Amino acid sequence: MFVRANKLLGSNWTLHDLRHTATFRMTQDPELSMAYVQHILGHKYQSTLQKYVNPSTDEVIEAGLAHHARQEHKRAHPSPPPSAPAYNPESLGILFGETPA
C-alpha cells in the first residue's frame, strides 16, 4: 500500500514517518500523559520522547504571537469588576440587634 501511495504522490513516506507524526501529536495532547505515550510506543525510557516535545522555531513564534494577542485582547476588553454582594436589610437588622418592625 505504501509503495502505491508513494508512487502516486511522488513521496517516500515510511511507516516510521507515520509513527513519528502520531507520536508528535500525542505529545502535544495535554490530556494524554507522557507515561501513556511512552507505553503506547513501547519505549523503555520516557527520555526517548524528548525529541518529540522540542518545538520548532515556527511553533515558538506562533505561540508567542498568540500569547501577545490574548494579552492585548484582555487589555482592550477588561473583565468587569465583580459586583458587590447584596445585603438583605432584615438580616443586617437582626445581626446588629434591631427588632423587626
pLDDT at residue 38, rounded to an integer: 94
C-alpha to C-alpha distance for 2 and 11, rounded to whole angstroms? 10
Which cell numbers in the block locate residue 51? 525529541
- Helix residue spans in 10-88 (DSSP H): 15-28, 34-41, 50-53, 57-76
Angle among Cα 58, 61, 63 to the nearest 5 degrees reads 105
Reported pTM: 0.51
Would you state the pLDDT for residue 37? 94
Per the CB < 8 A criterion, the answer to whether 56 and 28 are in contact is no
Q: Which tens digit of pLDDT belongs to each residue from 82-92?
A: 877 788 878 87
pLDDT tens-digit series, residues 31-49 = 999 999 999 999 999 888 8
Q: 8: helix, coil or strand?
A: helix
